[in-house]
Amino acid sequence: MTDNTHIIMPGNSFTKADIDKSHKFNPRENTPEFYGEDLPKDVEYLGSQIMKPDDIKLDNFFKDGSEDQNKMIQSIRAKEVKRKELTASLEAGYDLREHLISVRLDEKTGKTFILDGRGKYFIMQKLGWDNLLVDIYKCKTPLAYSRLGNIKNRPAKVANPISKLDVVKHLTTHKEQLGITDKMSNDEIADIFTKEAKLIGNPIWQKPTYDKIVLQAISEVGKYQIVVHDETSATRWAKANNYVDVEDSGIFYMISSAATPAKTILRAAKQAKYYTDNAKIFKELRIILHHGFLEGADPEGSWKKTKDKGLKDFNDYKDLLKYYFTNDKKELKFSNKIKLYGITPALEELEDDYPLNKVVKYDMIEEIQEALETEETIKPDFEGPLGVWR
């Protein structure tokens, strides 16, 4: 017979026996980051308790000091997701094997405020629970509270897993408590932010994710503006700074990632063919690479590396095209009108040399002049300077 004593169905009330079950099915020693020695500094776990929903205050504040729910700002969570999935899960019963709703005790007022589990808080009331089983914490500082709230959302949960925006918000909100000052360099700020981001971030995130988080946080609090781009934002940037097609003169632009040189060249070839066939005048296709996201620990070095590598990779792939193999052996030609024009700027700190409103030009670029004009058959598996092509 299946043991379902860990499931409490909607409409029931929690009892003291359910507290013991919660500790049995979810041993607190298994997660020391929530209940034991790995809790953030200045946080204390006080145990589990049954509370009425009205005894728990929503931990929100209001821009104008009112209590207008339309102006409410949640102090930790940036957004809520998968509410339908959470509702469906709770309709099947509350599982005591999961972590409980968390609240924090304000010792000055004796009031308790929601810390984690807002979705459950609202949905369980709608489904008929008249009390809630909660874990209670004491947080001595706002930084400790924010750390715990974000760590509580770190695992992959049915709802509200921590997002990159949550971590950025935590870093920028608590910059003073983390020791950030106006006299610090971006590199010094990055060291502090990276350590803190890894403390509260999702354990499955890799270095590029933390670089993006730290870079965005630095952009908001650092001395210098740092611009990050994807294809959409780079296209907007190019348009705003007048790098736009001029059909009457036959000058066209193409935005592409510095990280994908092969894709860039093939896209450029297709674009050139289109303009050759359809444009009234076609003199030049100018490729502008966007630098993408930079490493938060060294944005200047990362951008310079991307700039130089973008040029090298582009030329390497251009040279490799002479070995391009096609099954039908048709001639593959590239127009010498295709030019690698430049790359997007990134840092206000470098504005004297690379203004943020101008493309950083690759002035000494050879035009793409190589054309596949040979009938030589290349083996399908060809090992070139950039690996094996099939």
Torsion 25-29-30-32 (CA) sign: positive
The residue to which tokens 């979705």 are assigned: 119
Grade residue 229 by pLDDT with cuts at 50, 70 and 90.
confident
Task: Encode pLDDT of 259-285 as tens digits.
Answer: 888 889 889 888 988 998 999 999 999
Grade residue 388 by pLDDT with cuts at 50, 70 and 90.
very low
Task: Encode pLDDT of 146-159 as tens digits.
Answer: 888 888 877 554 44
Q: Is 251 exposed, middle or buried (0-12, 13-18, 19+ CB in 10 A)?
A: middle
Task: Encode pLDDT of 168-205 as tens digits.
Answer: 888 988 999 999 988 888 788 888 999 988 888 877 78
Q: What are phi and psi of 341, to 5 degrees?
A: -85, -45
Mean pLDDT of 366-372: 35
Contact 202, 161 (CB under 8 A): yes
Task: Encode pLDDT of 234-267 as tens digits.
Answer: 899 999 999 999 999 999 999 999 988 888 988 9
Mean pLDDT of 292-310: 80
Specify the pLDDT at position 336: 78
Instruction: For the chain, give the mean pLDDT.
Output: 79
Of 9, 11, 28, the residue nearest 97 (C-alpha): 28
CB atoms within 10 A of CB 343: 25
Grade residue 65 by pLDDT with cuts at 50, 70 and 90.
very low
The answer to pTM > 0.85 is no
Specify the pLDDT at position 321: 65
The residue ranges of DSSP E strands in 228-327, in sequence order, are 251-257, 284-290
**β pairing state of 112-116 and 251-257:** unpaired
| Rounded Cα distance, 129 and 117, in Å | 15
Task: Encode pLDDT of 332-351 as tens digits.
Answer: 555 678 899 999 998 877 88
| Rounded Cα distance, 375 and 390, in Å | 18
Contact 150, 143 (CB under 8 A): no
Specify the pLDDT at position 303: 87
The residue to which tokens 């950039």 are assigned: 386
Domain ranges for the chain, please list them. 7-161, 163-223, 231-318+336-360
| Rounded Cα distance, 215 and 303, in Å | 12
User: Of the ranges 55-59, 187-191, 201-205, 358-362, which is most confident?
Assistant: 358-362
| Residue 61, pLDDT above cutoff 90 | no
